[in-house]
Amino acid sequence: MHLNNYDAIIQTADHTVRQAASRNADQIAESLGITVFPTAFKKQKGAYKVIERNRYVFLKDDLPDIMKSIVLLHEIGHDRLHRKQAAEFHEFNLFDMSRSRMEYEANLFAAHIMLPDEEIIDYIRRGYSVDQIANMMQSDINLVALKAADLSRRGYSFRPQDYSSKFLKG
């Protein structure tokens, strides 16, 4: 199901956290029955695929821990938001948000799980930069900026943050 409603993505992410009783990417994958395989990708960071109703995430085997969590949550986002389209994914270069609404949605899903609203709001109101917040929360600057933009969309008043829509791309 291709979602067009950002609030539905946030609700799905919240439900996933409650269901797994965790924000940890590995624990979420395990609780959802998603098999994770380290893979010797050259450029791409990850891929999601459904094969005979079994769900798999393939992760680049040499990713730093922070990026591994982000990519895994992104791929779990595809599982939760786009499972029916997974059979259509032929080339697994899936992170360029400028070309695909599904990639944006999976990134928003990952940002919402990895970066709880309350913490981000507190850091922003205390005057921390996106870079500082990313360092403190062990995340990526672009994911934090995406989260801040979503909070603004939801009615919070913040100074706009810049981010690259291609931050997970090769």
pLDDT digits (tens), the chain, 170 positions = 444 488 899 999 999 999 999 999 999 999 999 999 999 999 889 999 998 889 999 999 999 999 999 999 999 999 999 887 766 544 434 445 545 788 889 999 999 999 999 999 999 989 899 999 999 999 999 999 999 989 988 888 766 555 565 666 65
pLDDT at residue 90 in the model: 42
Structure tokens, 141: 């600057």
pLDDT for res 109: 96
Ordered alpha helix ranges (H), the chain? 6-20, 25-32, 65-82, 101-114, 117-125, 130-136, 141-153
Please give the Cα distance from 25 to 98 (Å, whole number).
Answer: 25
Q: pLDDT value at position 161? A: 52
Longest dimension (CA), the chain: 49
Give the domain ranges of the chain. Answer: 6-109
With contact defined as beta carbons under 8 Å apart, do 86 and 50 qualify? yes
Query: What spatial distance separates the first Cα and last Cα of the chain, rounded to whole Å?
Result: 27
* DSSP-based three-state secondary structure for 10: helix
Q: Within 10 A of 93 (CB to CB), how many other CB atoms are there?
A: 16
Q: Which residues pair with 48 in a beta bridge?
A: 57
* CA-closest candidate to residue 82, choices 96, 107, 98, 102: 102
CATH topology of domain 6-109: Arc Repressor Mutant, subunit A (1.10.10)
At 41, list the tokens.
Answer: 């990708």
Q: What is the pTM of this model?
A: 0.84
Handedness of CA 24, 105, 97, 158 (dihedral sign): negative
Q: How many CB atoms lie within 10 A of CB 116?
A: 14
Give the integer Cα–Cα distance in Å for 75 and 127: 32
Half-sphere exposure of 141 (CA within 13 A, CB side): 10
